[in-house]
Copies of this chain bind each other. A is one copy, B any other.
Amino acid sequence: MYPRSIQKLIEAFSSLPGVGPRTAARFVFYLLKSSQSEVQELVQAIENLQKEIRLCKFCFNPFQVGEDQDETSLCLICRNPSRERLLLCVVEKESDLAALEKTKIYQGLYFIVGGTVGSLRKEDMKNVRVQDLKARIEKPRQFGLADATFREVILATNPTTEGEATALYIERVLKPLGIRTTRLGRGLPIGAELEYADDETLRNALEGRR
């Protein structure tokens, strides 16, 4: 329907998460109107991504390579000697890690599990790096963290059905290690109104009163 080169790019954009063919077409027509230098900037940024970003050998957090001279396989957080190497916080994805880091409250390490299990079916479990997590808790030295001995794993998955299922699954896998696992506190978020809070949140707020 559209010319071939437009159709091709619509298909390529459609593979991005949450992007359907209509949205992809809007992206394409936007780029068609953009200047050559703007488009080149986008192309360059995409190409630099795989060239300049590595995933941390320990926690899978992406980091910039070549900023300092020495070749490293660990991200800035795992490399930082002042982070507590007793606490490990498991998050679903990179943006969850970024949200926690922004608070500057947490001083332990992270592990990005990479997704959620919707159900406890086999194909779902392949989406999450739970066995990788177990291996890192058992033998941190093998993954670049010689001096880590984790005492507690915080399962900071989202308070959604998928997040809950994922946390339960992780707990089950980690059980043989005998390590303490905790969850993030539940209750009313700041600025919430009781009137509009759902039953589950109110129940959590009551049970978790202090």
Distance between A59 CB and nearest chain B CB, rounded to angstroms: 14
Main secondary structure of the interface of A (DSSP, over half): helix
Is A188 on the interface with B (CB-CB < 8 A)? Answer: no
A32 touches B55 (CB 8 A): yes
Looking at chain A, what size class is its interface with the partner chain?
35 or more
Is A62 on the interface with B (CB-CB < 8 A)? Answer: yes
Smallest CB gap from A52: residue in B:
B5
Binds B, one of A95-103, A139-147, A200-208: A95-103
A5 touches B49 (CB 8 A): yes
Question: Which residues of chain B have C-beta atoms less than 8 A from A29's C-beta?
Answer: 62, 93-95
A17 touches B31 (CB 8 A): no
A45 touches B9 (CB 8 A): yes
Q: Looking at the complex, which one of B4, B13, B43, B45 makes contact with A47 (CB distance below 8 Å)?
A: B43
Is A150 on the interface with B (CB-CB < 8 A)? Answer: no
B101 touches A1 (CB 8 A): yes
Residues of chain A whose beta carbon lies under 8 Å from any beta carbon of chain B: 1-6, 8-9, 11-13, 15-19, 22-23, 25-32, 36, 38-39, 41-43, 45-53, 55, 62-64, 67, 93-95, 98, 101-102
A–B complex contacts, Cβ < 8 Å, 16 sampled: A2-B62, A5-B48, A5-B52, A6-B53, A6-B64, A15-B38, A15-B42, A16-B31, A17-B27, A18-B23, A25-B95, A29-B95, A32-B49, A32-B53, A43-B47, A46-B46
